[in-house]
């Protein structure tokens, strides 16, 4: 279908496929969706290709059924604690005389910024230009057409373990869909959960999902830092299961139905029945006790967000505070606890700028899914990743994706491979 954008958010808890049609007003009309429980993932990473493929296929099938259109290719969100990011700078001479900067110069500067040492088992997922410096003048957003002797660019580079990318791409391909682009989950979520004023002022986006807490820090309108932390909703559930000696399913139900992140907000006379393992039958547990268990791990997650912000070097430069999304932000009291611990403005970000079947995905858990569609709309051909604006034509789609990454970033290596 021409003009249609598809996003697949392969989360640890759920797989969500959305089909969207861009509206002229800048919003996206959701015309198909498939939300199914995830399988074969641990902390955001594929650990069982068959199970993950089956879950992705089920999600695609549901979305196709609703929209009535077959899905051929899609943007896919990626995360996991194998993700790392770094800011780098590239400089090129423009020449003497009346030289104006061309798009070719910008591409060369971006390529120069990519000449950083990356282990052979890692690949770049994103190379995002943050700002340009023209003859020492910084803060330039678009240098094309400016007269200059020297062009510098600052880029944000996200790298990931090749094996993890490979497994994710393979699952999507085995489910019958070509991967248009991989997009870092919090950068997708930021597309819909953050306002441009927040990005300009400086803000932390933290997506607390089921398996990972994904972070993207924006400053002066551009991405400044990204990270994926391997602690999220699953650990909260697991803590309850261990402490109460109850199955994970029972602990998950308790968390969703009776959970709270601030024990003092829970009536200390409230009690709930929990089914334990074996023949133990029902045990009666104070609701406040459940909240105490959840509070401990929630504090840890918020502390990790704070530590990562300090590590980024942008702490103190983020007056717009923290925007939380992801399913775990549904835990009552979590936002207040974060506000108290971080001593900064905190709000929960829900997907914006969408129409059509939007009710089903209007919760914070779907920020990444909706954001993927907006990413496709806004960044369709990421110039830093496709310097030639072309995709290589090889027979195998997985080979095509990996080959495309290789050619884009390691042209010499790719030539070696072909000869």
347/119 Cα distance (integer angstroms) = 38
* Minimum separation from the CB atom of position 210 to ligand ATP (A): 4
Among 143, 327, 356, 403, binds ligand ATP (CB under 6 A): 327
Q: Does 124 bind ligand ATP (CB under 6 A)?
A: no
Give CA separation, 249 vs 238, 240, 244, 289, 337, in Å.
Answer: 10, 11, 12, 18, 26
Q: Which of 236, 155, 188 is nearest to 349 (CA)?
A: 188
Determine the Cα angle at 310 with ends 307 and 316, to 5°.
130
Nearer to Mg ion, 203 or 228 (CB): 228
Nearer to Mg ion, 11 or 333 (CB): 11
330/364 Cα distance (integer angstroms) = 8
Q: Does 11 bind ligand ATP (CB under 6 A)?
A: yes
DSSP letter for each residue of 362-374: -SGGGHHHHHHHH
Among 5, 8, 12, 181, binds ligand ATP (CB under 6 A): 12
Q: Does 85 bind ligand ATP (CB under 6 A)?
A: no
* Minimum separation from the CB atom of position 186 to ligand ATP (A): 9
Count of residues touching ligand ATP (by CB under 6 A): 25
353/28 Cα distance (integer angstroms) = 6
Binding partner of residue 293 among Mg ion, ligand ATP, none, CB cut-off 5 to 8 Å per kind: none
Q: Which of 104, 96, 99, 92 is nearest to 147 (CA)?
A: 99
Binding partner of residue 234 among ligand ATP, Mg ion, none, CB cut-off 5 to 8 Å per kind: ligand ATP
Decide: 239 and 294 in contact? Cβ < 8 Å. Answer: yes
* Minimum separation from the CB atom of position 237 to ligand ATP (A): 6
Site string for ligand ATP, 225-264 (x = CB under 6 A): -------xxx--x--------------x--xx--x-----
Among 129, 143, 186, 211, binds ligand ATP (CB under 6 A): 211
- Contact stretch for ligand ATP (CB under 6 A) within 10-18, 28-36, 128-136, 242-250: 10-18
Neighbours of 187 (CB within 10 A): 26
* Minimum separation from the CB atom of position 151 to ligand ATP (A): 38
Residues forming a β-bridge with 407: none
Q: 247: burial class by Cβ within 10 Å (0-12, 13-18, 19+)? A: middle
Q: Which of 350, 250, 366 is nearest to 14 (CA)?
A: 366
- Contact stretch for Mg ion (CB under 5 A) within 94-102, 163-171, 330-338, 365-373: 365-373
Nearer to Mg ion, 47 or 86 (CB): 47
Contacts with Mg ion by CB under 5 A lie at 11, 209, 368
């Amino acid at each position: 279908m021409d003009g249609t954008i598809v996003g697949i958010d392969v989360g640890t808890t759920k797989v969500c496929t959305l089909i969207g049609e861009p509206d002229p007003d800048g919003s996206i009309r959701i015309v198909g969706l498939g939300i199914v429980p995830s399988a074969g993932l641990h902390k955001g990473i594929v650990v069982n290709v068959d199970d993950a493929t089956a879950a992705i296929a089920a999600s695609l099938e549901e979305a196709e059924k609703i929209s009535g259109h077959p899905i051929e290719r899609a943007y896919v969100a990626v995360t996991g604690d194998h993700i790392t990011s770094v800011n780098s700078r590239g400089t090129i001479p423009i020449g003497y005389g009346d030289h104006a900067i061309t798009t070719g110069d910008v591409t060369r500067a971006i390529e120069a910024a990519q000449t950083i040492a990356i282990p052979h088992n890692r690949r770049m997922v994103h190379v995002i230009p943050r700002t340009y410096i023209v003859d020492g003048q910084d803060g330039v957003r678009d240098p094309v057409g400016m007269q200059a002797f020297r062009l510098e660019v600052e880029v944000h580079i996200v790298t990931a373990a090749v094996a993890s990318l490979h497994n994710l791409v393979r699952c999507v391909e085995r489910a019958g869909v070509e991967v248009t682009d991989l997009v870092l989950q919090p950068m997708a979520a930021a597309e819909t959960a953050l306002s441009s004023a927040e990005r300009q002022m400086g803000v932390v986006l933290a997506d607390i999902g089921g398996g990972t807490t994904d972070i993207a820090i924006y400053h002066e309108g551009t991405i400044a830092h990204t990270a994926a932390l391997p602690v999220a909703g699953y650990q909260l559930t697991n803590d309850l299961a261990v402490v109460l000696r109850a199955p994970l399913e029972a602990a998950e139900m308790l968390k969703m139905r009776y959970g709270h992140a601030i024990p003092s907000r829970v009536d200390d006379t409230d009690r709930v029945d929990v089914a334990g393992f074996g023949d133990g039958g029902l045990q009666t547990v104070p609701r406040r006790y459940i909240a105490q268990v959840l509070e401990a791990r929630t504090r840890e997650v918020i502390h990790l967000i704070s530590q990562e912000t300090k590590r980024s070097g942008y702490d103190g430069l983020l007056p717009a505070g923290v925007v939380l999304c992801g399913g775990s932000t549904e835990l009552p009291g979590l936002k207040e606890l974060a506000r108290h611990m971080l001593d900064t403005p905190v709000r929960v970000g829900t997907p914006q700028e969408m129409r059509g079947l939007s009710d089903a995905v209007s919760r914070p858990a779907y920020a990444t899914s909706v954001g993927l569609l907006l990413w496709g709309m806004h960044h369709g051909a990421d110039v830093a990743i496709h310097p030639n604006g072309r995709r290589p034509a090889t027979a195998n789609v997985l080979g095509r994706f990996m080959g495309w990454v290789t050619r884009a970033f390691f042209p010499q290596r790719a030539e070696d491979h072909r000869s």
